[in-house]
Structure 1
Amino acid sequence: MPRRPERSPHSAPPADDRVEARLIAIAAEHIRRFGPDRVTVVAVAREAGMSHANVYRFFPSKAGLVEAVVVAWTRSVELALGDIASAPDPADDKLERFLTVWSRAHREALDRDPAIYSAFAGFWEQRRDSIAAHRARVRSFLTAILDEGSEPGPFRIRDEDRAAAFVADAMQRFVHPALVMETRDLARAQLDQRLAVMTRMIVRTLGSGGV
């Protein structure tokens, strides 16, 4: 198969990319207004000024369209976390900031876009490949910070995989969608206080060689 020509980062995206982005944006707004279950390909196509058959050129089904909206949100989270992981700060400072941003991204999505976050939670439970890929990328950023902070850095890590699993387990209440949705009525100040305690505990445990 011939390779598509590379384009300059400053050039406009191809027409198909622009159409796809517009369909995702329209679908996101329909999810906010009606919920993921009531979104229809026909309504999205009508607002985009095209036939529903044309929408199926980009997405295999309504579920695929909703999933693309969810993936767009997960990529925004990954971008923020990736920037933290590649920053030049000390690893312990980066880890604390990483965990804070990771948690707040979930709570803010629940507060700002509850319907989209609900769709994310549904795909999480279905074990969709896109969500597994998102979790793997977040895990890779976390592992990079742990690796950077290993001796002679601030962390005394005996087993990197075990340390990453420890951090992920400790953060479940703040990043597992089902548990995040359970805390919907918890005041943000109270949630932030719990998060601060947990991040300090995680950093101290890694620094003391506890895992």
Structure 2
Amino acid sequence: MRAALRVRPAPVSADVRLLAIASEHLARLGPKRVTVVAVAAEAGMTHANVYRYFPSKDALLDAVVGRWLRDLEAELGRIADAPDPADDKIERLLTVLAAAQRDALNRSPHLFAVHLDATVAARPIARRHRVRLRSLVERVVEEGIGAGAFVARDRERAIAYIFDASYRFTHPLAIHHDADVPADLVEARFGALIQAIQRVLRVGIL
């Protein structure tokens, strides 16, 4: 009997390997102490070779954050696609978005620091994330209006209101500023805000 053929795993591409190394360096050293030279050395290549895939250190670290943001956006997308009522979806979208970032601040502070810096500097990774978030919220608002759950005289104002009202709990800069606020107090304030957002969307004062 012939021995079963062993299937060799596909080789990991250079950019994926660099991201894995950069992610480990970021978690261990923090963004200021990560260097392209050290990442390249561990990957067995020159730092000039790294720049073929990532044009700068910021681009490399932003790509690490981008992987985390894509996973978060995928989770938010599943919420937007669920068959639940629109008002429930708005609550879940904002809750997951807020919780994921606060969790990153507490568990992965260096990752959060890059996310915060990219957002404040409006780097491409942050701008793309903002566009995707808006698209998801827009879908849920339109669904709510179509189903009669939301009453909005101006859809754009309704979407802007959701982001403006939830800023303190969903924007990384505000989350950073509230880092020392007890979690139970944040949750209580956030719960009250969600109820207010849902009430405004149902009443249709925008």
Give the alignment's TM-score, normalised by structure 1.
Answer: 0.89
Query: Does the 8 A contact of 1:106 with 1:174 survive in 2?
Result: no
The amino acid that maps onto 2:98 is S
Contact 2:150 2:201 in 1 (8 A): yes
Q: Which residue of 2 aligns with 1:8?
A: none
2:199 paired residue number: 204
Map of 1:38 onto structure 2 = 33
Maintained 8 Å contact 2:37/2:47: yes
Q: Does 1:100 align with 2:121?
A: no
Pair 1:141-2:111 in alignment: no
User: Equivalents in 2 of 1:46, 1:152: separation in Å?
Assistant: 56
The structural deviation recorded for 1:151 is 4.5
Cα deviation code 1:79-135 (max 9, x no counterpart): 111111111111111111111111111101111111111111111111112211110
Q: 1:169 aligns with which of 157, 164, 177?
A: 164
Number of aligned residue pairs: 198
Quote the sequence identity (%).
45
Out of 40, 50, 58, which is 2:45 matched to? 50
CA contact (8 A) 2:141 2:159 kept: yes
Cα drift, residue 35 of structure 1? 1.3
Unaligned runs of 5+ in 1: 1-11
Amino acid corresponding to residue 191 of structure 1 in structure 2: V
- CA offset digits 1:145-202 (Å, max 9, x no partner): 0000005421111111100000000010012111101111112121111111111110
Q: Deviations over 1:34-65 (max 9, x none)?
A: 11111111111122232222222211111111
Deviation readout 1:1-32 (Å, 9 max, x if unpaired): xxxxxxxxxxx87x5x7321221121112112
> Which sections of structure 2, spanning at least 5 residues, go unmatched?
1-8
Deviates more, 1:36-45 or 1:19-28: 19-28
Partner of 2:190: 195
Secondary structure of 2:54's aligned partner: coil
- Which residue does the alignment assign to 1:78? 73
Q: Which residue of 1 aligns with 2:6?
A: none
Question: Which stretches of structure 1, 4 residues or longer, exceed 3 Å deviation after superposition?
Answer: none
| Matching residue's letter, 1:180 | I
After superposition, the CA RMSD in angstroms is 1.5
Q: Which amino acid aligns with 1:41?
A: V
Q: Which moved more, 1:54-63 or 1:140-149?
A: 54-63
Assess if the C-alpha contact under 8 Å between 1:92 and 1:154 holds in 2. Answer: yes
Q: Which has the larger radius of gyration?
A: 2
Aligned to 1:130: 125
Residue 116 of structure 1 is aligned with which of 111, 120, 130? 111
Task: Give the Cα separation in 1 of the matches to 2:170 and 2:94.
Answer: 9
